[in-house]
Structures are given as structure tokens and as C-alpha cells.
Amino acid sequence: METLGLIGGMSWHSTATYYRIINEVVASARGGHASAKIALQSLDFEEVRQCQLRDDWDAAAALLTEAGQRCVGGGATTVAICTNLMHKVAPAVEAGIDVPLLHIGDAVAAEAARNGWGTLGILGTRWVMEEDFYAERLARQGVGAVVPDAADREAADTIVFDELTRGIVRDPSRTRYVDIIRRLGDQGADAVVLACTEVGLLVGPADSPLPLVDSADVHARALGLLALGSSQGVEGT
């Protein structure tokens, strides 16, 4: 079984989700006391958040690259960044390690392809929605993207950082997200990707007027399969 390297802590709430799902996949496949081999580097999110607020992405890339190298030093044969936003620095992390990095966008695109969804609404932090690093990764796999308007982008970003990354889940925020999802459907989205790994803590399929792709869930499941020796359902590099 392969050893997975997880760059987590951004935030620890979603990293716990990754750890649980990966081990559920492995335990289900192998039975008994089986669990995944994981080299985890859990960063101090406050340090990463300060880099984000300063727009110091070089410093953020250095933090994640060093964490990735420590994962490899711990035996990891594949590394993953357990957050959507910090895939903004994925190229730097990939360049700094000598093992593959399993990109969250590829897992999301594979899920869209399995379900025949050609256009995804992107719902996450403002960088993920407003910049092209995420939508371009989906486009490589033939998946189009639409994003909320400016007011909805601001609301979504505020809820992530003021609430979800601090473990706060509020009903009014769920209602606001559901309204945003409905408007993404009006813009042509077949489904919506929860493109922040904490959003699945707030909104689930039972809440949503559109099908959802929980990025943390599909990424973690892809990693679980990879630990078992399969890359089924994940395209790209």
C-alpha cells in the first residue's frame, strides 16, 4: 500500500475530514484493522492566513513546499494539498518535491465527468472564484465553470473565513449559500463544486437545489483509492 503525504491544517476541520474518509476507503476495501499509511504535515493556519492577507504567495508556497518535502521525507509516494485555495501555489509545491501531487481539481473534474456535468458553479473563497488557477484546471478536463456575482463572492468568502475555518456553522449562512447555489443554476451550472474544503460542513445534498461536488470528499476518496494502488476516476497530472 502506498504512503500518502497530506499537507493539512488549512483548516484542521477539513483535514480531519480527509483523514476519516481516506481511512474509511482503505478499511472498506481491505477489512479487518486496515488503515491508510499517511505522512501528515498539519500547518499552523494562522501563518498561512497571514500570507494570504498580505498577498505573499511566495511565502505561502515556501511553507507548503517545505511541508511537502517533510511528507516525502516521511515516506510519502504521493502528496496532496488538503485545501482548494492553496492549490494557487500547487505548481511551486510540485516543483519542490520529487513525487506526484494529486490535484484537487482533477478529482473534482473526474466526478463531474462521471455524472455528465459539463459546467460547474464554483463556490469557495474569493481567490478560487475570481482567479483562473482553479477554473483552468477544470477546463483541462473539459469542464466549464461559472462563478457567483461580486456580492455573493464577498458573502461566500466572509462565511468561510469568519465562520467555517473556525468551526462555526450557522443556519443563516447555510441559507445564504443555498441562495447562491440557486443563482449559479440560473447562470447555467449543472452542479456546484464546494470549492472550499470546509463548505461541506455547512451545506449538504439535502440542502441544495443543485447536485453538489464536495471537493474534500472526492479528493479524499481519490487519495484512498490511490493508497490502495488505484488512480481510477482521476484524470490529469
- Of 15, 51, 196, 197, which is the active-site residue? 196
State whether the Cα torsion 114-115-119-124 is positive or negative.
negative
Q: Work out the angle between the directed axes of helices 57-73 and 45-54 (0-180°, nearest 10).
A: 150
Beta bridge pairs of residue 212:
192
- Of 83, 125, 165, 197, which is the active-site residue? 83
Question: Among this protein's residues, is 83 annotated catalytic?
Answer: yes
Question: Annotated catalytic sites, by residue?
Answer: 83, 196
